[in-house]
Each structure stands twice: as structure tokens, then as C-alpha cells.
Amino acid sequence: MKQKIIPVIIGVVCLAIGLFAGYYGKDLINKGKFTTAQKIAIQDAIIKTQVQQADSMLETVYEGSLDGIYPLEQAKKLGADLLRNLRYGDDNQGYFWADTIDGTNVVLYGRKDVEGTNRLDAYVGGVYHVREIIKNGQKPGGGFTDYFYPKMDKSEPLPKRGFSLLFEPFGWVLGTGYYIEDLK
């Protein structure tokens, strides 16, 4: 039992560090007098760090499967459950998504109706955004994508910028993003 708890505890500690950075970074943007380009650079650093923290959490879960604590499929389920419920930012609105490299959604901010569906042909605002997110996430060190997507519980697509990164052991591209209008 003790061996099963250790990876989860390590993951929670990594997340706490990431949440701290997300909260204070947003506060810095809101209180500072920055140009839009500077705000984008700050927010880019925040979301990249958040995705790296989520990647670290998944690595800890994956290592549990390598250590024989649980099988790989159970590690993937645990990783998806943790990622689905993971939030960041002072308003707790930051969330994560994950898609397989073939475009099948694993996690999308708790939208169980989307999970398991293939989003590769999702086309919003003139962009196949999932294709771009997956392509950029597979670059060494991950990458940024500009696209359009509606806010939660809304229908109008708005300009958004995301960072994605391939978590190779699971074949998942993880990401998070922010709406450009929220920086003004």
C-alpha cells in the first residue's frame, strides 16, 4: 500500500509548485503595466510551466507501472483521472487536455462526452486546432499553438493560445492554454 501512495504524493507536491507559479504569475500580469506582447510572454511561460508540471506528474504515475506497483493501463487511468481534475490559477479556471497522437481525446476539462472521440478533424475559426496542437506538442520540448476555441459553456470561438507537449510513454499530447482577451 505504501508503494502505491508514494507516486501520488510526489505528483501532488509537483502540482503544488506549479499552482503557486500559476497563481502569482497571473497576479503579476494583472498588477503590472505591460504591453500585450509582454503579457503574452509571461502567460506563455506560465502555461508552459503548468504543462511541464503535469508531464512530471504523469512521469511519476508511469514510473509506478515500471516499478510494478500497477499495470500500464491502470497507470494511464490514474494519470487521466489526475489530469482531468487538475486546475491552476488564482481563479482555478486553468485546466488541461490530452489527446493521443492520432487525435483521440483522453481528457478535456472533465467533458466525458468528448473523451474517447477523435478530434483530429475539429475545425474552428479556420484552423484544425487539434492537428496543430498535436504537431506542435511533438516538437522537441513541445510548442505553442494559436487557434480559436469557445470558452467553457459558451459557443463563440475566441482567440486562444496553448502550449502542448508529448508524454511519450502514454502516447498523449498534453496541453493547456489561455484566451488572449483575458490578458487585457
Mean pLDDT over residues 9-20, rounded? Answer: 46
Higher pLDDT, 109 or 144: 144
Question: Which tens digit of pLDDT belongs to each residue from 65-94?
Answer: 999 999 999 999 999 999 999 999 988 989
Number of CB atoms found within 10 A of residue 168's CB? 12
With vertex at residue 172, the alpha carbon angle to CA 20 and CA 110, rounded to the nearest 5 degrees, is 60
Report helix, strand or coil for 103. coil
Burial status of residue 6 (CB atoms within 10 A of its CB: 0-12, 13-18, 19 or more)? middle
Q: Which of 160, 17, 30, 11 is nearest to 91 (CA)?
A: 30
Helices (H), the chain: 2-31, 36-66, 72-85, 129-137
Average pLDDT of the chain is 87
Residue ranges of domains in the chain, CATH in brackets: 2-183 (3.30.450.20)
Residue partners of 38: CB distance under 8 A and separation at least 6 = none
pLDDT at position 12 is 46
Question: Which tens digit of pLDDT belongs to each residue from 27-52?
Answer: 555 556 889 899 999 999 999 999 99
The grid cell for 41 is 510572454
The tally of CA atoms less than 13 A away on the side-chain side of residue 140 is: 0
pLDDT at position 27 is 53
Say whether pLDDT at 15 is over 70.
Answer: no
CA distances from 16 to 10, 12, 59, 85, 161 (A): 10, 6, 16, 14, 23
Higher pLDDT, 16 or 180: 180
